[in-house]
Structure 1
């Protein structure tokens, strides 16, 4: 279903201008999309100020320009890696979490953030401090749900237990990177700078044992590598397992008459994962949305899962 897909808005307001961003948001909602994902730091590396906030600002402008659309969408945003003047990032201390949520809510123009994420692990702040600060946001009506992005699984469990012990809202979502093919174990992947930013076998086992915890997947299409010959997979993906999986993917996509990327997204949805669509044009969005209408049957899933 299209409601299982998430619209990523990393470059809205920077590389993707206001009008283009509005058009993508309109198309997503018209097609039945519900979740919109952003962050307070998007996208500082693409803006002359060196700070983020542009994506949230554009989404807020779009919400104000479309009265009533707020009831049709849910917004998720993040705190933790916005750069600070003088170097470094903001982190996840209690004051930063509260201030970040307040600023995001103002830019978005919403009363409540539907899902608020801690963006990346902060070694300088005890997780208990972050958990309490995030839980109090829910108590105060600033956020509805909470998630962790780019955190190791052991710390996720520690955070969840601490929140439950304190009687606070606990973590119900993880945001990590995954796709149909995977890099070689231990191989460095160009452009991936989060040590714990991957779905692993431990992640899969954890969510199987905790079905109340969702997994959201960023970069599920590996920058267009499944469909575009001019965008080959990074070298870390070059191994026999990838060769076998790409062959199976090609056979299934050919039989169904759809692009390989559509099958990849549908496969993730069937696995219970919410793919985040990072698109910059209506054509890319329409292609990705086709996955919402593609229900892979057991035969297709078995063929896709067979290569080891």
Structure 2
């Protein structure tokens, strides 16, 4: 287990993404994936109140409802659930009133007494940051949220959030969730230093670059691909991107694990990272994710992957 920042949350070093629940994984498939995740030692589940409002027929909160039903049915012990606010169709933005109403709605859908880790999903330029920080602090003070966090915030805005929290004397964020993987390393220049400075746990999303770092997409031609993420993943299939895949495959083979597991293991080796975030829409995808959480790369292997990925592809 690993500790999230300076919180009391001890979690398995992989966060299971709930964005697929109610989208590419129906209720039964989602239950099976969650069951297998816990059976494999997992205890950290990530979702958002907006998942998956983009699917025809969904309204938002769909993932939370599935996770809530699973929690009620299985009653697992020691599971940490993270969710987010600002993008639900009925709860847009980060005004104080909206943050409170959205948190109460998430608690009801999840069927929990309090949210373990509550993220500001995206920065809200239209709401004063002081108002948002105070609102998150009030949720902790009132027992609706155990710990707060930020996602998709710039380094400057994270610093400002922490400054305001300290001035107000309210709970500071314990985690940050940025876009970070072997083909998107800009995070190392700004977010990682801030996380190290303030003791924030880093929970990277797109850990597998929309599926590219599974090795499944080795061509920019996605004709015939049924996955809804195929086009996004295939954009990384440049000569440099394929060189990363080849290196991952060779290093992974030495450990007896997959390309995907090796990509997750590389993230684990980076400063401040506590639990890379990855999702599985099919049960057979989960073992690779779990293996990535427990695979330890050597310093030389990490350095080799650092070197081969020292370029930046098209901005995704």
TM-score, normalised with respect to structure 2: 0.84
Cα distance between partner residues in 1 of 2:169 and 2:88:
29
Counterpart for residue 80 of structure 2: 74
- Residue 205 of structure 1: aligned partner: 193
For residues 209 and 239 of structure 1, the distance between their equivalents in structure 2, rounded to whole angstroms, comes to: 36
Q: With structure 1 as the length reference, what TM-score do the two structures score?
A: 0.86
Deviations 1:104-137 (A, max 9, x none): 0011000010000111011110111000000010
The answer on 1:215 being equivalent to 2:202 is yes
Alignment gaps of 5+ in structure 2: 2-10, 221-232, 311-316
Q: Secondary structure at the match of 2:178?
A: strand
RMSD between aligned residues: 2.0
Name the count of aligned residue pairs.
Answer: 285
CA distance in 2, matches of 1:261, 1:107: 32
Q: Is residue 2:49 matched to residue 1:40? A: yes
> In 2 relative to 1, CA 96–231 (structure 1 residues): closer, same or farther, beyond 3 Å?
farther
Structure 2: how far apart are the matches of 1:298 and 1:107? 43
Pairwise CA distance, 1:239: 6.8
Change over 3 Å in CA distance of 1:220–1:110 after alignment to 2? same
Query: What corresponds to 2:265 in structure 1?
Result: 266
Q: Does 1:61 align with 2:69?
A: yes
Equivalent position SS for 1:72: coil
After TM superposition, the runs of 4+ consecutive aligned structure 1 residues lying more than 6 A away are none
Residue equivalent to 1:111 = 113
Gaps of 5+ in 1: 184-197
Please list, as runs of the form range in 1=range in 2, the aligned pairs for 1:102-251 lying within 5 A after superposition. Answer: 102-182=104-184, 199-210=187-198, 212-226=199-213, 227-229=215-217, 232=220, 233-235=233-235, 238=238, 240=240, 242=241, 244-251=243-250
Cα 1:15–1:3 shift into 2, 3 Å: same
